[in-house]
Amino acid sequence: MSDIRLEGVSKRYGAVAAADEVDLAVAQGEFVTILGPSGSGKTTLLSLIAGLNRPTAGRIFIGGRDVTDAPAQQRNIGLVFQSYALFPHMTVLENVLFPLGVRGIGGAAARTQALDALKLVRLDGLQDRRPSQLSGGQQQRVALARSIVFKPDILLLDEPLGALDRKLREELQVELKQLQRSLGVTTLLVTHDQEEALSLSDRIMVLDKGRTQQVAAPAEAYLRPANRFVAEFLGIANFVGLADGRTGLVRPERVRVGPTGINGGRPARVVETIYLGQMVRYHLALQGGEDSPVVAALPFVGKAFAAGDEVAVSWDTADIWPVP
Amino acid sequence: MNRSTGFAFIAPLLVLMVVAFNLPIIYMLGLAFWDKGRGFTLEHYEGLLEAPVYLRVLGNTLRISLIATIANVAIGYPLAHWMRGLGRRARLIAIALVVLPFWVSILVRTYAWIVVLGNGGLVNRSLQWLGLTDAPVQFLYNELGVTIGMANVLLPFLVLPLFAAMIRIDDRLLQAAASLGAPPRTIFWKVYFPLTLPALAAGTLLVFILCLGFYVTPAVLGGGRVPMISNLLDTLINQIPRWEQASAISTILLIVALVIFAGYRRLDRKASA
Ligand SMILES: Nc1ncnc2c1ncn2[C@@H]1O[C@H](COP(=O)(O)OP(=O)(O)O)[C@@H](O)[C@H]1O
Ligand SMILES: [Mg+2]
């Protein structure tokens, strides 16, 4: 187990800066998620840490050791690719044995260790299959088993759940989190899915065009984003004009919607009602204002306003975050 | 469309294939077993065993084919691997250079080797100019010339399938292997090479079998001094003529090719099981 530190790490491809002066410190055992839209440089950042790529500037430290110029082989990092990158000509067991073999671990000891790793990801019994005979979720678990079997110092996951359907993804998120906690391994996960980032991580790092936008705990980043990009990327954002000319952010959960005439509130009309299971979301048009439309999300308790209803909308000033 | 109407559609083609292609071959192979007036006989095969020259030519053919095939692999594998690492443009040029010989007649290419390898040819003049040799090295009209010529003519048959298999290998597999701690040598032997093996085996087999029946190149570059089976057949059919003997040799050649192919299929099936 080790910590990770990036100091001013940059990677340029011609005119494009895929990583632009990135600083990041991940504590030992911490779970940090790098979140950003497609093309923001997430994979680039992971490949720099893994040693598959060399930065054009900056230093990378793992466990206090400067590994900027060390080859991938010497970094002892477990890396799960977006595409899993399982060896197609090997069985599941052979795939998991591979990192042990190159470390000179063989025979019964290696076999036990590999089977243990497969059991950990709940794949026991499938060790003799080929990757092509497995479902996407199972392949993903093989890749995970292969990357943890040799007890890496850190674990890097590049959109590991991206290719899976929603239900499986949610299941695996829970498993991944539990696994990470039981192993206590320092973990960096990459995703473009803000829900995944918010639900899994101790902290998130929001990336855009290779630049760090914010590094914070999930709730902090969600409620107090460092800028407009983070505010919009992490979820639905209602922007309201403030008295001092700045822009304030109100999240949909902090918007109250009630019948007109009670407790004041601004009059509004329901444009659309969307049922989300436990929640119901309203898209609202404020009356007599040039304000942008407001989105509210309320717990669904059996009854809801319909499109066209007149309602009163309000929020607490304490729930407004002035976006820097 | 049901089975029988489908069959009706291909029946004319099938008849054509059987009559035009298969029957002549069967007739040709059958010649060896018949003797005018006496019917079935194995005499022609016995004749093959008794005259050691035939077996020597067969052995010679197998040996030269094997050497040419090995030379092909030794040049073709690194070449295909090198092409995989090229940029987009350079790769296109390299493919064009490899494929180009396909568009030039085998005869022209073979005679081109005479210009290159002859006593006053490019290679010999360079060698002498460099002071590496005093007298011209005899490249032509011996096994060396035949081997060089065959290796050259058949190279695309190996390089193209190999190259196709190599560019299909995802770089991320190699990166994954590196991140799992494998040194370059292990990555090559445990990941890269096994993934190219089916194409290598198929290409090698193809080249070897083509070598066995090669005619033009051994005839021209061997100058009649390097007997290979196809040249022997030419003699037996066009010059002596002894068709029965030629038929018996063809049969043996076919069996050798089939046995090699069966061996390949067994290995292939074992590898993919
Ligand atoms: N090998 C490369 N050559 C040129 N540009 C690249 C290369 N790899 C990535 N890029 C560019 O760097 C940027 C970030 O890419 P990437 O790290 O893959 O983003 P993400 O994983 O967040 O989708 C993109 O603009 C991409 O086009
Ligand atoms: Mg990516």
> Mutation test of the interface with chain A: which of B180, B188, B195, B200, choosing the one with the most A Cβ atoms within 10 A?
B180
Q: For residues A250-272, give the mean pLDDT.
A: 86
Question: Using 50, 70 and 90 to split pLDDT, how confident is the model at A98?
Answer: very high
pLDDT of residue B159: 94
CB-closest option in A76, A81, A103 to B176 = A81
Nearby residues of B76 by Cβ (< 8 Å), 6 or more positions away: B155, B158, B159, B162, B203
The CATH architecture annotation of domain B51-272 reads Orthogonal Bundle (1.10)
pLDDT of residue A303: 81
Average pLDDT of the residues of chain A: 91
pLDDT of residue A290: 59
Question: How far is residue A36's CA from residue A189's CA, in Å, rounded to a whole number?
Answer: 11
Task: Tell which atom from ligand 1 comes closest to the C-alpha of A44.
Answer: 17
For a mutational test of ligand 1's pocket, the pick from A38, A43, A207, i.e. the residue with the most ligand atoms closer than 8 A to its C-beta, is: A43
For a mutational test of ligand 1's pocket, the pick from A10, A16, A38, A207, i.e. the residue with the most ligand atoms closer than 8 A to its C-beta, is: A16
Residues from chain A that touch B176, judged by Cβ atoms under 8 A, are 79, 81, 85, 87
For residue A140, pLDDT beyond 60: yes
CB contact under 8 A, B176 and A50: no
A60 alpha carbon to ligand 1 midpoint, in Å?
Answer: 19
Question: How far is residue A257's CA from residue A271's CA, in Å, rounded to a whole number?
Answer: 13
For residue A139, pLDDT beyond 70: yes
For residue A288, pLDDT beyond 80: no
User: pTM of the prediction?
Assistant: 0.84
Interface residues of chain B, partner chain A, Cβ below 8 Å: 170, 172-173, 175-183, 186, 190-191, 194-195
pLDDT of residue B1: 55
Q: Would you state the structure tokens that stand for residue B226, as one six-digit string?
A: 């390097």
Ranges of each domain in chain A:
2-229, 237-322
To the nearest whole Å, the CA of B69 is away from the closest chain A CA by 26
Which chain B residue has the Cα nearest residue A151?
B180
Give the ligand with the smallest distance to the CA of A39. 1
Q: Would you state the structure tokens that stand for residue B166, as one six-digit string?
A: 């190599």
Residues from chain A that touch B189, judged by Cβ atoms under 8 A, are none
pLDDT of residue A289: 65
Residue with more model confidence, A167 or A88: A88
pLDDT of residue B5: 80
Of the ranges A115-119, A230-234, A304-308, B198-202, which one carries the lowest mean pLDDT score?
A304-308
CATH top-level class for A2-229? alpha beta
Q: For residues A89-95, give the mean pLDDT.
A: 96
Ranges of each domain in chain B:
51-272
> What is the mean pLDDT for each group of 10 consecutive residues in chain B (273 residues)?
78 90 87 78 81 86 93 95 94 90 84 88 89 87 89 90 95 95 95 94 92 88 85 86 86 89 86 67
Q: Would you state the structure tokens that stand for residue B273, as one six-digit string?
A: 């099981």
pLDDT of residue A291: 65
Question: How far is residue A319's CA from residue A322's CA, in Å, rounded to a whole number?
Answer: 10
pLDDT of residue B27: 87
For residue A163, pLDDT beyond 80: no
Backbone angles phi, psi at A134, to 5 degrees: -115, 155
HEC-encoded secondary structure of B83-113: HHCCCHHHHHHHHHHHHHHHHCCHHHHHHHH
CB contact under 8 A, A102 and B178: no
pLDDT of residue A301: 81
Q: Would you state the structure tokens that stand for residue A48, as one six-digit string?
A: 């720099």
CATH code for the part of the protein at A237-322: 2.40.50.140
pLDDT of residue B223: 83
Which chain B residue has the Cα nearest residue A148?
B180
Percent of chain A with pLDDT over 90: 65
ipTM: 0.84
User: Are the C-beta atoms of A55 and A46 separated by less than 8 Å?
Assistant: no
Question: How far is residue A54's CA from residue A66's CA, in Å, rounded to a whole number?
Answer: 13
> What are the CA-CA distances from residue B157 to residues B61, B102, B163, B268 (Å)?
19, 10, 11, 19
Please name the residue that has the structure tokens 């601004």.
A266
SS3 label, residue A30: coil
Which chain A residue has the Cα nearest residue B186?
A102
pLDDT (tens digit, 9 = 90+) per residue, A229-255? 999 999 999 998 888 888 899 999 999
pLDDT of residue B2: 67
